Every structure is written in structure tokens, then in C-alpha cells.
Amino acid sequence: MPTLVAKQCAVLVVDMQNDFCHREGHYGLCGNDISDFISAIDPVSRLVGKARTAGATVGYTRLVYDKPAGSMEDRHVLKPRRWIPKGERLRPGTWGAAVIDQLTPLPGDIVTDKAGYSAFEGTDLEAQLRSRGITTIIVCGVVTYACVLATAFSAFDRGFDIVLASDATGSWSSTLASASSEIVDLLLGHAARIDEIQLTGQPPADTTAPRAAVN
């Protein structure tokens, strides 16, 4: 894939929260296998470090319970056929809803709370990215085929270029994770491993030959 201009890029870390990614979080205590989420922590951290070194923007999303709207599974009459409700989780202001310690946001990072899959729906994320001159979003985090992919689609529809950091995501299903990479390559942009994502501090040189002067 082409080298990206760091100042025009944002690494968007999706929902790497304690309730998802910590063994003492909601899903871990419920007995779910969160090993793939935990395995994503180090690669995401490496990608974030790479972004910071190059001068790219770093942003975080947090999926939080929306009291007026209710939990995601309670907002619809026709619920997803295989949905399995898991009780109270991701309460705003709680430890469970916070970004895991290994990825704690720094001053100057973008932090966006959202009530659904997409980080752009009902938030000011697009405005924040535009104000920083961002044109390319590198998405990572959890869950690959849910909030990560939904955010990628929303960003694409808003005109951003998309990169999915395929080895810096976590999923409940490896099959659906692989399918998400295929979807990104087919419809949205590039699915690439961290080592394939190259960031530069300078825009590429303009190699366009100058036009001859017109007398």
C-alpha cells in the first residue's frame, strides 16, 4: 500500500475498554472467551506508538450505555436473530467503560463516546477530524466485524480514506474477522498489517512536469 502522510492520518482505536478487554471486565466475568481481545492490546499499542512517533493523530472510541435510548438490544422490536443479551455493561463513567490502562489516551488525543456501532453517528468525531486536516483513518480495536467495520463504513461514506489494521483487531469470530478484511479491500480501502502501514512526515514530492510558458 502507498506511504501515508502522518499529519493527514488518524489512528482510531475502537472500543478497547475494560468491559471488553480485561479479564475482570463484564465479558470476562460472564465467562466469554476474550482472549482475542486481549491479544489485540499489544498490536494496537504498537500501532499507536508508531502513529505518535510519526506525528499522526490518535483517537479513541468508547461504546457506552445510553440511558435514554436503552441498551442496544432494547432499541429494536426486530432484534438480531442470534443476539445474546449480556446484562448491564459499559456504563458511562465506570471502570468498565474506560479505555484499558495499556492504551490510556494522552492529552491532545481525540476521545469519542458513542451509543451504537458507528463512531460517527450522533457524535462530533467528523468535525474533530476535519479540524485537524485528517483525510485518512486507520481503524483498529474491537470488534472487527461490528464497531470497527461500522465505523470504517461511516468514515468512507463521509469521504475519508480507510485502512484497516488487520492484525490490530479482536473478534468473537475469526471467520468474520477475515471476512471484514475482505470487505474493506473490496469496498472501502486497504486491509493491511501494521508493518505494511508506512507513515511519513512529508507529503510526496510533486513530480508533475512544469507546463511550458505560454507567450
Q: Which residues are the active-site residues?
A: 15, 114, 147
Alpha carbon of 154 to those of 71, 117, 124, 176, 180: distances in Å? 21, 10, 13, 19, 15
In whole angstroms, how large is the CA radius of gyration of the chain? 18
Residue among 29, 33, 19 nearest 100 (CA)? 19
* Cell matching residue 79: 432484534
Q: Could you tell me the CA-to-CA distances from 194 to 88, 199, 204 in Å, in that order?
A: 34, 11, 21
* Residue tagged 483498529 (cell numbers): 140
Distance, CA of 152 to CA of 158 (rounded, Å): 10
> In the chain, how long is the greatest CA-to-CA distance?
78
Which residue in 89, 88, 68, 72 sits closest to 80, CA to CA?
72
Burial class (CB in 10 A: 0-12, 13-18, 19+), 20: buried
Range list of H helices, the chain: 18-21, 26-29, 35-39, 41-54, 125-131, 149-157, 174-183
H-run or E-run covering 59? strand 57-63
